[in-house]
Amino acid sequence: MIALPHRYSGKVRELYEVDDDRLLIVATDRISVFDVVLPDEIPDKGRILTALSAFFFDRVADLVPHHCISVRPDDLPAAARPDADGRGMLVWRTEPIRIECIARGYLFGGAWAEYERHGTVWGRRLPAGLRRADALPEPLFTPTTKADAGHDEPLTEEQAAALVGAARLGRIRDLTLAVYARGAEHARAAGLILADTKLEFGLRDGELLLIDEVLTPDSSRYWAADAYEPGGSPEQFDKQFVRDHYLRLGWDRRPPAPSLPPEVVDQTRRRYVEAYERLTGRSFADWYGPPVERAR
């Protein structure tokens, strides 16, 4: 049990107070799709998200400062151990900027749905004849609202500028696209395609920081490069695999969600672990904390 003041429960993370300057973010094994938290957890998922975020925070720090102080168990508050080992991140307290910042390099998800209907993505006209999962002519910045409950809604850049200011939005857009480009280059070397990614930012003493998570399978779409073909749903190493399961069921996306079959839980965990190992070149077995015991 974590004996720190509890501040907030998100879809996936729990937030705790450490002191006036620092917070503890603990990534659980919960998983959400279509903005609904599912009744089943994915074993080790929280540890994978923490491990990959720590890895990528280091690798984009020259582009943008971030909020991560440490993920080392010895650096976490004693009141959080051992429950937070491997899934806890000690971070600087920030004032979150209330938009979600998405960079898209490929036509998929909500972008594909809009293109099918209107030939546009976030209102931008694209060439005719593109297929699902096609590469876009250039990566796009597609911000959304950040809803505490319910669905995030698309924002035009004008609407986003009205929320956060034009100058700040310009800086956030440039950083989002730069982090996406860095992540896509790294993924390519690992045999993966980074189709899109979602980032969040916050302010600390007036400085813009990258916060929450970065380039994880929860916040990004990763596809196997050697199996990639536009026109369908490429082989995924992210939670699109779970979304596709529910799409096949015809679930109406209203809670409560039907339970996940054990084989979907196991395959999802396998894909998350493989994403971590491909992207980092490390064995997940070496990450902090004991692995979750899984029923056979």
172-229 pLDDT, tens digit each: 999 999 999 999 999 999 999 999 999 999 999 999 999 999 999 999 999 999 999 9
Query: What domains can be seen in the chain, in order of their start residue?
Result: 6-95+274-282 (3.30.200.20), 97-106+135-249 (3.30.470.20)
Q: Does position 146 have pLDDT exceeding 90, yes or no?
A: no
Question: Rounded CA gap, 196 and 215, in Å?
Answer: 9
Answering whether pTM is above 0.85, one says: yes
Kindly provide the b/e burial profile for residues 175-206, where b requires at least 16 CB atoms within 10 angstroms of the residue's own CB. bbbebbebbbebbeebebbbbbbbbbbbebee
Query: How many beta carbons lie within 10 A of that of residue 97, not counting itself?
Result: 22
Q: Does position 27 have pLDDT exceeding 60, yes or no?
A: yes
Average pLDDT over residues 14-40: 97
Q: Does position 151 have pLDDT exceeding 90, yes or no?
A: no
Question: Rounded CA gap, 277 and 283, in Å?
Answer: 6
Residue 101 neighbours by CB under 8 Å, 6+ apart: 141, 143, 172, 173, 176, 198, 199, 200, 201
Q: Does position 50 have pLDDT exceeding 70, yes or no?
A: yes
Six token digits for residue 169: 């939005």
What mean pLDDT, rounded, does the chain reach? Answer: 94
Residue 7 neighbours by CB under 8 Å, 6+ apart: 15, 16, 17, 23
Q: Does position 292 have pLDDT exceeding 50, yes or no?
A: no
Question: Rounded CA gap, 194 and 108, in Å?
Answer: 12
Average pLDDT over residues 74-84: 95
The tokens 């957890």 sit on which residue? 41
Average pLDDT over residues 266-270: 96
Question: Rounded CA gap, 108 and 131, in Å?
Answer: 9
What pLDDT sits at residue 131?
A: 97
The answer to whether 218 and 100 have CB atoms below 8 angstroms apart is no
